[in-house]
Structures are given as structure tokens and as C-alpha cells.
Structure 1
Amino acid sequence: MSSQVWQQPEIISWSQIILDSFAEVVGKELLARKGTPAAQAEALFFAPFVVVSHGTQAEPIFNYGNQVALDLWEINWQNFIQTPSRSTAEPINQLERQQMLEQVAQKGYVDNYSGVRISSTGKRFLIKNTIIWNLRDRAGNYCGQAANYAEWDMIKN
């Protein structure tokens, strides 16, 4: 199922929000935007780096994870999109969190976040140089947050 998830119309649309928001906020493309929205959704899903996003719920739930993310978290699509994003991270201290929020407020994104994440099987890994950005639809409405990183180290428990 997960290998064809990118073909679903709602995922194609969501992929455009991820890509458009990244370009708008960060000022560069997350990946080369070639072809149709469906081709771009496929490229995003099979990109050689992690891309995840969550919605605007009080307890945000993941609503997108590309194949690298699913592999890293050792989880399938159906289970991933039911996972609260908070539950995959170790708590960060308040000062670090406050600094991150201030940077997002000033820049619209954070591009140097690092933190420990936990896979579905309990494996811990440190993500590095992570970009976190707000997602907005074409009308400018806030619709969640996304994260992207290409560097991580597995942590021996």
C-alpha cells in the first residue's frame, strides 16, 4: 500500500502544499519540480531524504511520511498516519523549544534543528540539520507543519 500512496488524489494535493510551502518559506525548492503534480508527488515520496508532516489538531497526528521516513521509523503508512507526532520524539528542554519557536516566528521556519526520535520498534536515532516549516494552502490558510532532514545517526540503546 505505502509504495502507491503517492498516487492518491489527496496525497498529490498535500504534496503540492508541502512543496509550495517549503519554496515560499525557505526560498528554495525542496526538490526539482518536474512534470505534473502526480510526478512531483512520486518524486517527493521516493526522495532520498525524510519528509514528514502533521495537521493542525491539538495533538497533531502525522498525515504524511515519505518512504525514507516510513523505513526509518519502521512503520507502514496506515499506522504512521495514526501516530501523534509528539510520540515519536524524546522531550526537548524548554529553553531549546522556546528558541526554536522564536526562530520559527522570526524566519517562518527553523533550519538547524536536531533531536532524538524513536522508531516504532523502539530504536532511537538523532536527526540533524532538520528544517521545520509551517504549511499553508493556496489561500494562505495554516494547515500544519512539515519537517525535512537527510542526516541521522542511529543511537545504541
Structure 2
Amino acid sequence: MDLRTDLNFFNLLAGSYARLLGTELVPKHERAEDAVAWLYHDAPFGLLAHNTAEDPVFVYGNRRAQTLFGYDWDEITALASRLSAEAPERSERQAFLDQVTRDGYVTGYRGVRIAKTGRRFWIERATVWQLIDEHGKLHGQAAMIPQTTALPE
């Protein structure tokens, strides 16, 4: 299944965000398909989502996230999410994700990430939330990245 244009997955992303944060992830569109396309192609923020596997793998990365991390769709959706951070940063990342699990979401997150090329950068003001459907089932976690800052080479 291709989650780039999947309406059910979009509803999980946007619906869980709205339920947990009390605000909309995506601006209103006349047609749901247009909202799905906007999030993938045109959103000014990076959006990543990973599954609930023991070693979670990204299942979604919009175009902005692909640009930030330097992976195409096929590469990013095969990447263990822990590999988006360098080894020394992984324990800090895991502690943060544990907080998201406990609280449902966290806003204002800042952490160092690594692109495919090895380029390091800060993600800033990120919001990470649990992907919980309307029946309470957990499907993973998602991150909205509105800002990044390059680190010196």
C-alpha cells in the first residue's frame, strides 16, 4: 500500500494530531484528496511517521522530510527511524520517544539528526505524537518538523 496518497493513513495522521493537540495539522481543503496531496507534496514542514515494530521503520515521509534527510520515498520508508539520529544521539532520542508514549505528544522538541550524506542538522520546534486511531489502537508515532538549522561541517 502506498501511504503517500492513502486517505485512511492521512485520516490517522491528521485525526490523531487533532485529537491530541486540539488543532488541525492540515489547512482545510474542499476535497480530502487535495488535503492528502498538500501534506505530501506542498507542506512547508517535514512530516515523518514510523510503525510499532520493535525496531520502528518509517512508513511515511513527505517531500519536505525527504529533502531534509536526503532520501527518496523508497529509501526513507525502508529506514529504521533510529538511524535518523547518530549513535550518540539515539539514547536521547529514545528517552524523548518514551515521553511521547507516556504523554501522547510533545511539542517544542529540538534534537540533532543526520541526513543520508552524513550532514548533521538540528530539528527544531518539532511536534511528535502517538498515531492512535479513533478506536484507541496505536499505529506508531509521527513527527512534524517545522524548522531545521544546519550544524557546522
Task: Flag whether TM exceeds 0.5 (same fold).
Answer: yes
Give structure 1 stretches of 5+ with no counterpart.
Answer: none
Distance 1:143 1:95 in 2: 22
Equivalent of 1:51 in 47, 50, 60: 47
Which position in structure 2 is the counterpart of 1:122? Answer: 118
**Number of residue equivalences:** 150
Residue correspondence of structure 1 range 76-95 to structure 2 within 5 A:
76-90=72-86, 91-92=88-89
Check 1:26–1:56 CA distance in 2 against 1; reply closer, same or farther (3 A cut).
Answer: same
Corresponding letter in the other structure for 2:137 = N
Distance 2:93 2:144 in 1: 19
Distance 2:101 2:106 in 1: 6
1:14 offset after TM fit, Å? 1.0
Give structure 2 stretches of 5+ with no counterpart.
Answer: none
Q: Secondary structure at the match of 1:145?
A: strand
* TM-score, structure 2 normalization: 0.87
Equivalent of 2:4 in 6, 11, 23: 6
Equivalent of 1:37 in 10, 17, 32: 32
Check 1:42–1:21 CA distance in 2 against 1; reply closer, same or farther (3 A cut).
Answer: same
Equivalent of 2:98 in 101, 116, 121: 101
* TM-score, structure 1 normalization: 0.85
| 1:34-75 deviation per Cα after TM superposition (whole angstroms, max 9, x unaligned) | 223321111111201111100000000000011100111111
1:105 offset after TM fit, Å? 2.0
Which position in structure 2 is the counterpart of 1:23? Answer: 18
Percent identical pairs in the alignment equals 30
| 1:97-118 deviation per Cα after TM superposition (whole angstroms, max 9, x unaligned) | 5466346524x21102111111
The Cα RMSD (Å) is 2.2
